[in-house]
Structure 1
Amino acid sequence: MEIHRLIEEIYEEMVGWRRKLHEEPELSFEEHQTAAFIYDKLAEFKLDRVDYVCETAVVALLNGGKGAGKCLAIRADIDALPVTEQTGYAFASRRDGLMHACGHDGHVAILLATAKILAEHRDSFKGCIKFIFEHGEEKFPGGAKALVHAGVMEHPHVDSIIGLHIVPSDECGRIRIKSGPVAIGCDVVNVKIRGKSGHAARPHEAHDALLASCQYVVALQQIISRNIDPKNTEIISVGTLNAGTAVNIIADHARLSMNVRSYDIASRDITKRKLYDIADGIGKITDCAFELEYVDGYEPTINHEGVAELVADACRKHLGGDSVEIGDYDLGSDDFSYYMNATGTPGAYFFLLAGYEGGGRYVNHHPRFSWKEAAMKTGVGAYLAVVNEYLR
């Protein structure tokens, strides 16, 4: 395949897809119109199989013309965010309070362009490619878990999986990748504390849920400093704490919520256990009852060394030596990890450095988040390069 020529030929069409999607964003698990658009395009490209999965996700299969071989999965997330757009784009969101503020419109356009090119050149590779357009990535529990349980990593069995994420950057048109951790895991913990109300002048007759909640928040800080290996990043951030009803009443209830973020699964397990241990201890001291709801969110994304090296080497070979930068990007959490961790499938997740439009660089999820559409050429090029090397 003449990668650069093929990308130039499809570029304007890809931009049109991206802008249409950007104008019509849909929230997680509500992506009916988006999924229909994707389905219709894939059917138009004459892939071997196109299916709706879990209502608003789309999965397609393309068999290579050179015979049997490995199966490569490529994933793009498709949902938007509850953000009011402030970019000033001529193609800005037409839906009040909704925006593609994380680049998923670009992810879809890139993967559609990749699918179209490969469908027209299916005789250039062996094995097969599974295109996964995932719903609901932005909202717990994410779409990946449901898709894996629906069997998208089987029939045929996926041997490796790759995906990318658009990020604003001072550079445009390079990928950033490395082996090892590239996206932090994120869980949510909700805590209810029940005490016994009483008059503020007679605290000895009450069980102070507010005091218990404060002691709990302070005690949590020792988990990181005394239980986690300093080489491993672990974060506990308490975001809400609500307690009490009046200034002269001892609080009989409290609620708090927090994020637990981890790059290391063993550290995550230690933190989870200690959250319960500390709750038990403070409950005994304060005579208050603690109820914890630990919501397993997105596990850390840890790139497989071999697949990460494959992506980097393929891009250098087909896109040029300066197309690759070794490193990661502090994006947050992503449920791409579930495809790898739940099934043992080696994979790699990389970042597409996409520049920015307008007067400043704004992070993903910001109402003025922007990026340069020309970066999509590198995204398609990276996927085609990997196919050329992995399925040759």
Structure 2
Amino acid sequence: MIEKIIQDELEKFYPEMIELRRYMHMHPEVSFNEKNTARFIKEYLEKIGITNIKTNVGLNGVVVRIKGQDSSKTIAFRADFDALPINDAKDTPYKSTIPNAMHACGHDGHTTALLATCKVLMDHQEDLPHDVVAVFQYGEEQAPGGAKPMIDAGCLQGVDAIFGAHLWTPLPLGTLGYSYRELCAAADRFEVKINTMENANIIAAEFVSMTQQIVSRFSKPRETLVITLGKLESSVKEASITGTIRHFNKELHKTVLTKLQNLCKALENEYSSTNIEFIYYGGYPPLINHKKGTIEIKKATSKILPDIKQMEIEPLMIGEDFAYYVEEVPGGFFLIGAGNSTFAKYPHHHPNFDFEEEVMKQTASIFLTLAFDSANIIKNLKGEQ
């Protein structure tokens, strides 16, 4: 029974998983600077016998293909491996050794789970119905991200379905968080620069006030739209406002951008000798799961982790560039609980962030269950939009 094989193999491999994770945790690299991490991943994949390895995909991405019994279909899994520009404040033997760099979001855990998945697949290729592609992605934490460049470089070529996960300390260990559709919001950054011979403080205050009217007037009651003005710097003649737009509706997003641009023009006309520049930096699209993909995640979890609590969660107002993958092929993304009430109680991006390492084994077990059932899963997802 394949579930027993998965459980036994991961239990045997678990001490090495902890070593892999803690090495990466001690040697983090921030977005777009992950050369050593990519090399570490490649060398480990070579060590376990994988030969079909592509490096520098997009920039620092690593993509491998593991052959199954029938290469006409392919299932893929993605893990991100970049860190954040944060000083690690934990008092642990495996705290970051790099100043202003820390795995404060769990990407070291994601990568370890996918490495473990590859290890078990290589040891049991005879049980693998179709090919598996493992996508090790750089740059998730900082837009424009690594997903789109890796897709443009061909990482999804021939892929029929893709799955990914995020370990999540707001959920306790032993919990699966799922969503049939919207899971993560689009998160677009913008900046407004005001130069005037009048009073920039007054103009900036009016922009802030009018922005909130855009939210209330142009979004429907059941639609989520959040405009956050995170930073305002102002003097008499100059002001700078930076913010984010978070949403799940691309058409609404276009409307809001137009309204913000029109607001800047209106304020320019209202105040003499005033120039207002609206700069749109973009961001990730909303992460919208395929319903059948989520159903397959839930089924796989029930098979391999029957005691885990499964809960449907409200969409998160955070960005996640896995969104690009499920725009291209069917699949799904899930959250898996990694928190506790002691050392793993801190939110993501916190200087004391840590997680229950058991979650890596749980994540790998779900990936492996999906991989070994890929024949049915790809057939079930066919035609999913």
Q: Could you tell me the TM-score, scaled by structure 2's length? A: 0.92
1:90 aligned residue: 93
Residue 60 of structure 1: how far off its partner (Å): 0.8
CA contact (8 A) 1:303 1:347 kept: yes
Task: Give the total of aligned pairs.
Answer: 371
CA contact (8 A) 2:169 2:340 kept: yes
2:62 aligned residue: 58
Q: Could you tell me the TM-score, scaled by structure 1's length? A: 0.90
1:11 aligned residue: 14
1:291 aligns with 2:277: yes
Higher mean alpha-carbon deviation, 367-376 vs 260-269, is at 260-269
Residues 1:22 and 1:5: Cα distance change in structure 2 (over 3 Å): same
Residue 360 of structure 1: how far off its partner (Å): 6.4
Residues 1:338 and 1:208: Cα distance change in structure 2 (over 3 Å): same
CA contact (8 A) 1:27 1:80 kept: yes
Residue 43 of structure 1: how far off its partner (Å): 1.5
Residues 1:97 and 1:316: Cα distance change in structure 2 (over 3 Å): same
Q: 1:62 is aligned with what amino acid?
A: I
Residues 1:328 and 1:40: Cα distance change in structure 2 (over 3 Å): farther
* Residue correspondence of structure 1 range 358-369 to structure 2 within 5 A: 358=342, 361-369=345-353
1:303 aligned residue: 289
CA contact (8 A) 1:48 1:63 kept: no
- Which of 252, 262, 282 matches 1:267? 252
1:202 aligned residue: none
- Give 3-state SS (helix, strand or coil) of 1:310's partner: helix
- Give 3-state SS (helix, strand or coil) of 1:391's partner: helix
- Give 3-state SS (helix, strand or coil) of 2:65's partner: strand
1:327 aligned residue: 313
Residue 328 of structure 1: how far off its partner (Å): 4.9
1:152 aligned residue: 155
In 2, the alpha carbon distance for the partners of 1:25 and 1:363 equals: 18
* Residue correspondence of structure 1 range 34-183 to structure 2 within 5 A: 34-52=37-55, 53-64=57-68, 66-154=69-157, 157-169=158-170, 171-183=172-184
Larger radius of gyration: 1
In 2, the alpha carbon distance for the partners of 1:48 and 1:314 equals: 28
CA contact (8 A) 1:49 1:62 kept: yes
- Which of 299, 302, 305 matches 1:313? 299
Residues 1:322 and 1:357: Cα distance change in structure 2 (over 3 Å): closer
In 1, the alpha carbon distance for the partners of 2:320 and 2:31 equals: 14
Q: 1:208 is aligned with what amino acid?
A: N
1:200 aligned residue: none
Residues 1:160 and 1:241: Cα distance change in structure 2 (over 3 Å): same
CA contact (8 A) 1:173 1:377 kept: no
In 2, the alpha carbon distance for the partners of 1:334 and 1:109 equals: 19
Residues 1:357 and 1:111: Cα distance change in structure 2 (over 3 Å): farther
2:371 aligned residue: 387
1:248 aligned residue: none
User: How big is each residue's C-alpha offset from its partner over 1:276-330, in whole Å with a ceiling of 9 and x where there is no partner?
Assistant: 1111112111132221111110111111101110111111123215353332574
Higher mean alpha-carbon deviation, 54-63 vs 76-85, is at 54-63
1:237 aligned residue: 228
User: How big is each residue's C-alpha offset from its partner over 1:317-367, in whole Å with a ceiling of 9 and x where there is no partner?
Assistant: 2321535333257472111112223x3x22211111012373561100001
Q: 1:125 is aligned with what amino acid?
A: L
Q: CA RMSD in A?
A: 1.7
In 2, the alpha carbon distance for the partners of 1:85 and 1:362 equals: 13
CA contact (8 A) 1:84 1:99 kept: yes
CA contact (8 A) 2:164 2:334 kept: yes
- Give 3-state SS (helix, strand or coil) of 2:231's partner: strand
Residue 96 of structure 1: how far off its partner (Å): 1.9
User: How big is each residue's C-alpha offset from its partner over 1:67-119, in whole Å with a ceiling of 9 and x where there is no partner?
Assistant: 23421111111011111112211111111222111001111110000011011
Unaligned stretches of 5+ residues in structure 2: 377-385
> Sequence identity, in percent?
31
Unaligned stretches of 5+ residues in structure 1: 197-206, 245-250
- Give 3-state SS (helix, strand or coil) of 1:354's partner: strand
Residue 223 of structure 1: how far off its partner (Å): 1.1
1:340 aligned residue: 326
